[in-house]
Amino acid sequence: MPSTRTRPLLALLGAAAASLALLAPVSPSATAAEREPLRYVALGDSYSAASGVLPLDPTAPPACLRSTRNYPHVLAGQIEADFTDVSCGAADTTHFATSQYPGVAPQLDALDRDVDLVTMTIGGNDSGVFIGAIQACGTAGLSTLGTGSPCKDEHGNEFVRTIRRVTYPSLVEALTAVRRAAPNAKVGILSYPWIMPRSEGCYPQMPIAEGDVPYLRRLQRVLNDAVARAAEATGVTYVGLNRLSDGHDACQPVGDRWVEPVLLGTNPVIVHPNAMGERKMANAARRQLGLR
């Protein structure tokens, strides 16, 4: 306990410290950072737009089928961002620099040096290879009533070669353009959640022949690997979903699956993420991008 002799000195020192604290300058940049939300722009294709998940975004071009429950909207709400969404169903990497539909600006037009955060899912529509493979394998599976491996037998390594030779360099070019258009932004690209399980399919809910299930799974792994390598080559954060979405493919029951099947699904746009899948993608992006 302070003596009566030291109490006045302690009081004087305390008053001086309080005065200095009041006079200490407050950093304007720190206060601004606390006040101003992140400027966040979402780019990408139908997996970014959550095509088929209702309700639709009334501010989006109708052809884009963009949902207000897509992972960019969920993420923007989580981090309370100043948010712009230009994702659009059926987009490929060319639509970053060119108009996808009449009156729809190139997606890169939404970026500038003041943007803080950019996310996207892109590449699956390039050259029509991934979506084309799903359609081709579905048709082939129906032709054999789900038996054999008709898609693999017909197409072999054709789709994989296209991803490695065409899709990968297109992704590098697109991500480089994003970094150039938004030089101060943290940029993240999400992989595609699993559409098919490892081996056992669910014909006819997903009309893929039994022997083509691992064939399509491998093709998607190659696509996600191309996305990951392009991200690494351009200094972009890769938000990988291979592990997280395993066991949540289109063959799983309602409540488990992140992606809806061709038959007996809940989305009018088939083979696309449902609302739960989009929430899980948002959570993964937030965590892997280090956002609070």
- Return the active site residues: 46, 272
Q: From residue 231, how far is each of 128, 141, 168, 226 by CA, in Å?
A: 21, 34, 10, 9
Contact 214, 203 (CB under 8 A): no
DSSP per-residue string spanning 110-126: G--TT--EEEE--STTG
Contact 199, 185 (CB under 8 A): no
Cβ-Cβ contacts under 8 Å for 189 (sequence gap 6 or more) = 119, 120, 121, 122, 175, 227, 230, 231, 236, 237, 238, 239
Helix (H) or strand (E) holding 52: none
Burial category of 235 from C-beta neighbours within 10 Å (exposed 0-12, middle 13-18, buried 19 and up): exposed
Q: How far apart are CA 167 and CA 40, in angstroms?
A: 26
Burial category of 90 from C-beta neighbours within 10 Å (exposed 0-12, middle 13-18, buried 19 and up): middle
Written as six digits, the tokens of 40 are 């966040």
Calculate helix-pair angle for 275-288, 71-79, nearest 10 degrees. 50
